[in-house]
């Protein structure tokens, strides 16, 4: 009881600092839950537009605070707009990571690993990602701060590791955005569009993505809502069509197909090594799953909406990935010549397109290509959103100059957006004859970024739970507890280490090739990059601690509910309400 009172007092003390933010220009005090800037009806639309780009200035923090406390409070009180609703988070969670990794990358995975290897790899990776998302959901619901998992790493592990992970994540988004824009322009070539128009499509897609993000988080949320609906409908439609084709439907049908291709040419393409090689491919297809948590600081009601978004991952893994890929393995043999297409964004290399074409269905492959195009643009849109928020977080932690933390009155991290927009201009390298070499090495820099991000999330979750235990507090104060618990985070870390070992093995001894330095670093360059950032930060700060002591972990700054006793009472009432309902409702609430 004494510990609970102490922790409540701690939250209330910090809450006074965090949740009363004054706009220095107007002199008015704003509740940090809104930070709303209303347009002045006495000004013209142009004047209000200009005013919207002006900085939202907050009162300076107490200079007596430690750097760690200042950073924690800065991320908690960021004046980002909380415009994301439950429907936005649901669709971001369900369709956020459905992209080229599933629609096109699964083709290469099928060729290298075979249908059995694909299913096993995606099930294992999916279970790992589910554990990661559950852990991240617990952290994000408790502490919905800007920068999300980047902030958690510096706060619950130690600053140098947070610095390295954050910069690796930032590089991944800055590099992926121009790559996805180029990929979108190449996707259009499916319709035999002349190559001379490629640059025009690059410019068009670049403008579209930039325009969406200039509308702020509301623009991002609405765009992802529409993109995700299209992708989800496409997957559901394919599942229905796939079942019909397997049962013998379709113009070119020779009767019931069933598991014919699992017997000839077989379930595995290159044995265990083939399975090991596609493990990273399967992980790449889940990249972006964590995006819902990055938006926690811009969510109206994270305590209600984030748990539902985290739980939706189970359905996405089961329905969209496992079922669709099982059908693909039955419809397309891994020896199909179209799986050997030259580029990873070539729609002709998509097993979804191949299955439909081989069935003799006309017109529908073009529809799938449109979905692939939308998926590519969705990833580019998410990259500029994530990149700009990462820049803001880096600035708040002192890893970038203070000017990079500029947030305007519309809640846009403007300098971060500008930086991402400038990096997006790299997409025009598509006109260069050396574009393949440049893009391959750019991609290599962040090739393992998702593994480092997911691994750090699991470690943060374990450290957060350890901090609660050491400081005499319990999980009763958590509005959402990871369904997988601490063992889920341990499981996630183990599988991530296994994946990194597999990738090292395949990078060193590639399938069908000889060992070479170029092949190895093109697949494993991101690890030296992370180590470089980590060591540089250690040398600069001369802070040689590997972990922050569990008793010193800040478990409170950033909470929106500052009265822990009231929060515990509300949690108990919610549990009692759910337990009083029929079993079908309790089951639904557990999974959804």
Asked, for residue 95, whether it belongs to a domain, the answer is yes
pTM, two decimal places = 0.85
Better pLDDT: 401 or 18: 401
User: Per mean pLDDT, which of 80-94, 148-162, 527-541 is the most reliable?
Assistant: 527-541
Q: Residue 471: which of 554, 546, 545 has the closest Cα? A: 554
Asked, for residue 381, whether it belongs to a domain, the answer is yes
Better pLDDT: 416 or 55: 416
Report d(CA 123, CA 129) in Å as an integer. Answer: 10
Report d(CA 39, CA 49) in Å as an integer. Answer: 8
Domain that holds residue 88: 2-561
The number of domains in the chain is 1
394: number of CA atoms within 13 Å, CB side? 23
pLDDT digits (tens, 9 = 90+) for 272-307: 888 888 887 788 788 777 777 777 667 777 777 777
pLDDT digits (tens, 9 = 90+) for 110-158: 888 899 999 999 999 888 988 998 998 888 888 877 666 778 888 899 9
Looking up residue 285, the CATH number of its domain turns out to be 1.20.1740.10
Asked, for residue 339, whether it belongs to a domain, the answer is yes
Asked, for residue 325, whether it belongs to a domain, the answer is yes
Which pLDDT value is given to residue 12?
43
Asked, for residue 590, whether it belongs to a domain, the answer is no
Q: Residue 364: which of 447, 467, 274, 244 has the closest Cα? A: 244
Report d(CA 571, CA 478) in Å as an integer. Answer: 8
Which pLDDT value is given to residue 44?
67
User: Per mean pLDDT, which of 36-40, 149-153, 417-421 is the most reliable?
Assistant: 417-421
Which pLDDT value is given to residue 536?
92
Please say whether the beta carbons of 144 and 297 come within 8 A: yes
Report d(CA 384, CA 371) in Å as an integer. Answer: 20
Which pLDDT value is given to residue 402?
84
Asked, for residue 566, whether it belongs to a domain, the answer is no
The count of other CB atoms within 10 Å of the CB of residue 256 is: 10
Asked, for residue 567, whether it belongs to a domain, the answer is no
For the residues 25-38, what does the mean pLDDT come to?
Answer: 45
Among 32-36, 71-75, 140-144, the least confident range: 32-36
Q: Is the pLDDT of residue 6 over 80?
A: no
Alpha-carbon radius of gyration of the chain: 24
Report d(CA 453, CA 162) in Å as an integer. Answer: 10
pLDDT digits (tens, 9 = 90+) for 205-249: 889 888 988 888 788 888 888 888 888 888 889 999 999 999 988
Asked, for residue 588, whether it belongs to a domain, the answer is no
């Amino acid at each position: 009881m004494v510990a609970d009172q102490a922790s409540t007092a701690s939250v209330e003390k910090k809450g006074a600092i965090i949740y009363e933010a004054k706009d220095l220009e107007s002199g008015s005090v704003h509740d940090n839950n809104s930070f709303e800037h209303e347009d002045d009806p006495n000004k013209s639309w142009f004047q209000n537009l200009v005013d919207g780009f002006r900085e939202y200035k907050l009162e300076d923090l107490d200079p007596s605070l430690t750097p760690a406390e200042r950073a924690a409070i800065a991320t908690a009180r960021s004046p980002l707009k909380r415009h994301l609703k439950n429907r936005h988070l649901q669709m971001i969670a369900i369709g956020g990571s459905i992209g080229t990794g599933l629609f096109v990358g699964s083709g290469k995975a099928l060729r290298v690993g075979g249908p059995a290897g694909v299913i096993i790899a995606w099930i294992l990776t999916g279970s790992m990602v589910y554990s990661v998302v559950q852990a991240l959901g617990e952290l994000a619901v408790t502490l919905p701060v800007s920068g999300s998992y980047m902030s958690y790493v510096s706060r619950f592990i130690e600053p140098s590791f947070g610095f390295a992970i954050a910069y690796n994540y930032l590089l991944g988004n800055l590099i992926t955005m121009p790559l996805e824009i180029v990929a979108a322009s190449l996707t259009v070539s499916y319709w035999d569009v002349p190559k001379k128009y490629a640059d025009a499509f690059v410019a068009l897609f670049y403008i579209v993505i930039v325009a969406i993000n200039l509308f702020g988080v509301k623009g991002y949320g609405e765009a992802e809502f529409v993109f995700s609906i299209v992708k989800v409908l496409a997957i559901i439609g394919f599942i229905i069509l796939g079942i019909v084709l397997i049962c013998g439907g379709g113009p070119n049908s020779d009767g019931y197909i069933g598991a014919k291709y699992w017997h000839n040419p077989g379930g595995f393409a290159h044995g265990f090594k083939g399975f090991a090689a596609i493990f990273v491919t399967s992980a790449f297809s889940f990249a972006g799953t964590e995006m819902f948590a990055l938006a926690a600081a811009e969510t109206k009601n994270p305590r209600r909406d984030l748990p539902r978004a985290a739980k939706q991952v189970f359905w996405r893994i089961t329905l969209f990935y496992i079922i669709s890929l099982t059908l693909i393995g039955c419809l397309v043999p891994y020896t199909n010549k179209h799986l050997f297409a030259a580029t990873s964004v070539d729609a002709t290399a998509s097993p979804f397109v191949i299955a439909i074409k081989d069935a003799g269905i006309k017109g529908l492959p073009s529809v799938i290509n449109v979905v692939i195009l939308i998926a590519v643009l969705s990833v580019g849109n998410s990259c500029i959103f994530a990149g700009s928020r990462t820049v803001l977080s880096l600035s708040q932690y002192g890893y970038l100059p203070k000017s990079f933390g500029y947030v305007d009155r519309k809640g846009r991290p403007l300098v971060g957006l500008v930086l991402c927009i400038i990096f997006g201009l790299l997409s025009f390298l598509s006109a260069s004859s050396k574009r393949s070499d440049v893009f391959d090495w750019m991609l290599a820099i962040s090739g393992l970024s998702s593994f480092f991000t997911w691994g750090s999330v699991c470690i943060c979750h374990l450290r957060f739970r350890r901090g609660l235990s050491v400081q005499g507090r319990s999980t009763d104060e958590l509005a959402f507890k990871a369904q997988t618990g601490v063992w889920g985070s341990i499981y996630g870390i183990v599988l991530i280490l296994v994946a990194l070992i597999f990738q090292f093995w395949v990078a060193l001894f590639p399938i069908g090739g000889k060992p070479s330095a170029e092949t190895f670093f093109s697949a494993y360059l991101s690890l030296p990059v992370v180590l470089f950032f980590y060591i540089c930060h250690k040398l600069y700060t001369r802070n040689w601690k590997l972990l922050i002591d569990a008793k010193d972990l800040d478990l409170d700054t950033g909470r929106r509910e500052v009265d822990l006793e009231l929060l515990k009472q509300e949690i108990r009432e919610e549990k009692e309400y759910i337990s009083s309902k029929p079993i079908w409702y309790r089951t639904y609430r557990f999974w959804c």
